[in-house]
Amino acid sequence: MWPFSKKAKTAEPEQTRPSTLPHDVLAQGILLTTCSGVRLAAVYANMAGFPDEVITPENAARFDEIIQAPPAFTPAGIEVGVNRVVEGCNILCQSGAFNTLIFGVTGQDHAANRPELERFCSSVRRQGLSSLCAEAGFDLRAFLTETSTERREADLRALFAKLEEKRDYMKPLLLRARAKGRNKYGDLDYTDYVAELAEFLRTYFKDGDLQFFYNRVPLLACMNFIEDWFGEGLDPLAMPLDGIDFEHWCASRIEAQGWSVRVSKSTGDQGVDIEAMRDGKTVAIQCKRYQQPIGNKSVQEAFTGMTHYRADLAMVIGTGGFTKAALDVAASSGVILLDAENIGEFSSIVETRFQQMG
């Protein structure tokens, strides 16, 4: 008798294959490992044709332009973005940095989902993210394009809602900044306008508040959104070149906003070209149709004219922008400076100033 012929073999435990990861666990693991912070925006940019992996001073402007534009993904770009996520996820899960990155130094971050995330990490370490997604029927390409687009749109909705909420406060500030839109050499320079908007955004949105843009300030998208606050832009070349004609041009546009206006004579006007009156208030206005920035002399004349006519406010409306000296004198004297392109906002600016004066 063969000694083992009748003896049953001891059954070895069956190696059960790990169950497929649920899609929500895959999604959370991918977002936390490779798409947190500004990295989701970087993947979005890659899918839209941005070739670089690292944002540098040289490519930052192009990067910001792409992530603020609507999605324009290409098949080749999507492949780059997907490969970047797969490679980054595989490397992180193979390294010892996973726990610190995901759970934090204290180990308390995402504590409620720790078992699922640890399982995600071990599964990626064992078979790689691509294989894991294929096994679960998880479309990584669709997930990245849809998630990045949805989060971008959610961020923009939040930004635009805050701008609308603060519109009554922001609009006069931005108009004043736009009125400084030329430097002392007459060249377009919207530095103050951009700085005012950037300060607003950083006041209300700190790093991490936005899930897509994160620490990138989407100035261009916000500037496009608020452009309709100022109505249709006026072409400076369409304004009368003659000084007296320009005064009447300004007067007609102020009158259209519900003001009674009186245009002064061409001489002896004491620095006031137009008196605008409404609700018992008078604004003394000097008009300057210049090619170059307007200097402080015009501001001083407007202030003197206001005193002479016992008006409530003084304003200079002009083309060409204003010099720094003019801006300084206006700030100390209370004279309002208004670029003629923004004359449609005359009432809004004046009423805001009256409210501030109490």
User: Where are the domains positioned within the chain?
Assistant: 23-151, 154-230, 236-357
Widest CA span of the chain, in angstroms? 135
Distances (CA, A) of 28 to 17, 84, 111, 140: 22, 17, 13, 12
For residue 199, give every residue at least 6 positions away whose Cβ sits within 8 Å of its Cβ, in sequence order, or none.
none
262 forms beta bridges with 275
Which two tokens mark 350?
Answer: 């004046």
Amino acid at 318: G
Using the Cα atoms of residue 43, residue 44, residue 45 and residue 51 in order, give the sign of their dihedral. positive
Cα–Cα distance, 202 to 284 (Å, whole number): 37
The answer to whether the pTM exceeds 0.85 is no
Q: Give the 3-state secondary structure of 141-152.
A: HHHHHHHHHHHH
In this prediction, the residues of the chain whose per-residue pLDDT falls under 70 are: 1-19, 175-176, 178-188, 230-238, 266-269
Q: What are phi and psi of 337, to 5 degrees?
A: -105, 125
190 in Cβ contact with 181 (< 8 Å): yes
> pLDDT tens for residues 263-315?
987 555 677 999 999 999 999 999 999 888 899 999 999 999 999 989 999 99
Q: What share of the chain is helix, strand, coil (3-state, %, to 5)?
A: 55, 10, 35
pLDDT score, position 158: 96
Domain at 236-357: CATH code: 3.40.1350.10
Residue 96: HSE in the Cβ half-sphere, 13 Å Cα cutoff? 0
> pLDDT tens for residues 226-265?
887 865 555 555 688 888 889 988 998 999 999 999 998 7
Cα–Cα distance, 210 to 219 (Å, whole number): 14
Which two tokens mark 18?
Answer: 């790990």
Cα–Cα distance, 85 to 145 (Å, whole number): 12
211 in Cβ contact with 40 (< 8 Å): yes
Cα–Cα distance, 183 to 198 (Å, whole number): 20
- Please count the other Cβ atoms lying within 10 Å of the Cβ belonging to residue 344: 17
pLDDT score, position 316: 96
